[in-house]
Amino acid sequence: MPIIHLQKPVSDIERAEHCFKGECLIYKNISAMHELIEYADKLLRESLNGIDPVDAQLHFSPEAFLQRTGNVQAHFRKSETVKELFFKVLEECGVDLNNTYYDHFPMRIVPFDTDYDGAECGVIGHHRDSWGSNIHSQINWWAPLYALEENRTIALYPDYWDKPIANTTATWSHKDYLEKRNEADAERQGCYPSAPTLKASVDESNLLKVMLEPGDVLSFSSAHLHASVPNTTKATRYSVEMRSINKHDLESGRAAPNVDNAATTPMYQWFKHILSKEKLKL
């Protein structure tokens, strides 16, 4: 699977053509991404007593680290400012905001120890984002906030672009997930997975650990199998991510092939128009 490094923006159609045949795009040195990194770094340092966020784990107990970084993640979830900064990033990559819908914008943290796992904290297992949404015109955006290493990044599995892998898309339901989450008491939380999961093991022999510099931005089809690389380094991974849908891709059927998704209901309502904030409907 080629990774294409871009020094200039690409049109929505060009991006769709690359992504929906399994290629990945890395947009180099995006100035709005540097702005976003500066903003995030300031928030993190304020919350971590001025300590460098990548090794702050060494200075706090796991609980204190999770609480302090969790406050920043909560800010990210709610803040319109950080979303606006990322919309500028998308624009700089060539995205026409008039035709684009998005879902949400979490800051994801992968600590270098396994004592820290949680919803937005810890390694994310193998999945295709299209398994949950059942929308194959969907594109993933991902960007690091600090320097990466091979054992502290995201991995894609190009062999599975056109090869199915057993999963729970036939039985998983978002409605059931929400119901179970609402019913669950503290001990039972997490019983029902928040997205479809694997039912087979992945051949790890041909994984692609994607390397980007801070300021670079990655886009790839949401139908790509991907996962966090377990962080065996001595620094915490901080990254941001978003998923987008271009309405012309959706209307004209420009999409990745569906190799193993047995779900039938597209979750259009998860997406909002970037400018008008109206929910996506087909």
Would you tell me which residues interact with Fe ion (CB under 5 A)? 129
Q: Is the dihedral of CA 41, 45, 50, 56 positive or negative?
A: negative
**Rounded to the nearest whole angstrom, what is the least distance from the CB of residue 106 to Fe ion in the complex?**
11
Q: Is the dihedral of CA 95, 99, 102, 105 positive or negative?
A: positive
Q: Give 196 or 215: the residue with its C-beta nearer to Fe ion.
A: 196
Closest residue to Fe ion using C-beta atoms: 129
**Rounded to the nearest whole angstrom, what is the least distance from the CB of residue 194 to Fe ion in the complex?**
11
Distance in angstroms (rounded) separating the CA atoms of residues 95 and 85: 14
Angle CA 233–220–1, to nearest 5: 85
Q: Give 129 or 216: the residue with its C-beta nearer to Fe ion.
A: 129
Q: At 17, give phi and psi (nearest 5°).
A: -60, -40
**Rounded to the nearest whole angstrom, what is the least distance from the CB of residue 260 to Fe ion in the complex?**
15
**Rounded to the nearest whole angstrom, what is the least distance from the CB of residue 129 to Fe ion in the complex?**
4
Q: Give 129 or 249: the residue with its C-beta nearer to Fe ion.
A: 129
**Rounded to the nearest whole angstrom, what is the least distance from the CB of residue 52 to Fe ion in the complex?**
27
Distance in angstroms (rounded) separating the CA atoms of residues 2 and 5: 10
Return the C-alpha torsion angle 116, 119, 121, 122, nearest 10. 70
How do beta strands 3-6 and 138-144 pair? unpaired
Place of tokens 């991006």: 15
**Rounded to the nearest whole angstrom, what is the least distance from the CB of residue 123 to Fe ion in the complex?**
12
The 3-state DSSP class for residue 182 equals helix
Q: Give 23 or 129: the residue with its C-beta nearer to Fe ion.
A: 129
Distance in angstroms (rounded) separating the CA atoms of residues 166 and 200: 6
Q: Give 47 or 138: the residue with its C-beta nearer to Fe ion.
A: 138
**Rounded to the nearest whole angstrom, what is the least distance from the CB of residue 45 to Fe ion in the complex?**
27
> Structure tokens of 146?
């600090």
Q: Give 65 or 142: the residue with its C-beta nearer to Fe ion.
A: 142
Q: Is the dihedral of CA 228, 106, 161, 2 positive or negative?
A: negative
Q: Give 228 or 236: the residue with its C-beta nearer to Fe ion.
A: 228
